[in-house]
Amino acid sequence: MDEGRIQRVVEAWKVLGDVSSRAIYDQQLSERHRVERGVVSAEVDLDEMDHHEVSETWTCPCRCGQDYIVTLDDLEDGVDVVGCSGCSLRIRVLYEEAAT
């Protein structure tokens, strides 16, 4: 084992061996997994969102007072989960891809 790996194991042992450090680590890990999995707070049909022709964007309000924004490029790239511009909430945008 190289020294760097041994040091990481020792640090992990310290964190996991202490109840309060382990609780903080577990909370951070849980939050990271939630963000990576993209927990979705709601599903919104694209037709129900406000369309802005000039910027080719669609928006809908979030409960925090800011907006969810999806662009034409997002839709063309197959993006269907977008985050709020003001908080950590995410929605799934429901739409059908146009036949090419």
Indicate the pLDDT class of residue 5, thresholds 50, 70 and 90.
confident
The domain spanning residue 63 has which CATH number?
3.10.660.10
> In which domain, by residue range, is 20 found?
3-37
Tell me what the pLDDT averaged over the chain comes to.
84
pLDDT of 26-37, one tens digit each?
777 766 655 555
Q: Is the pLDDT of residue 75 over 80?
A: yes
**Is 46 in the same domain as 89?**
yes
* Per-residue pLDDT, 3: 82
Rounded distance between C-alpha atoms, residue 44 and residue 54, angstroms: 22
More confident: 18 or 31: 18
Percentage of the chain modeled with pLDDT above 90: 35
Question: Which residues lie across from 61 on neighbouring strands?
Answer: 67
The total number of structural domains in the chain stands at 2
State the pTM of this model.
Answer: 0.59
Residue 81 lies in a domain: yes
Give yes or no: residues 31 and 61 share one domain. no
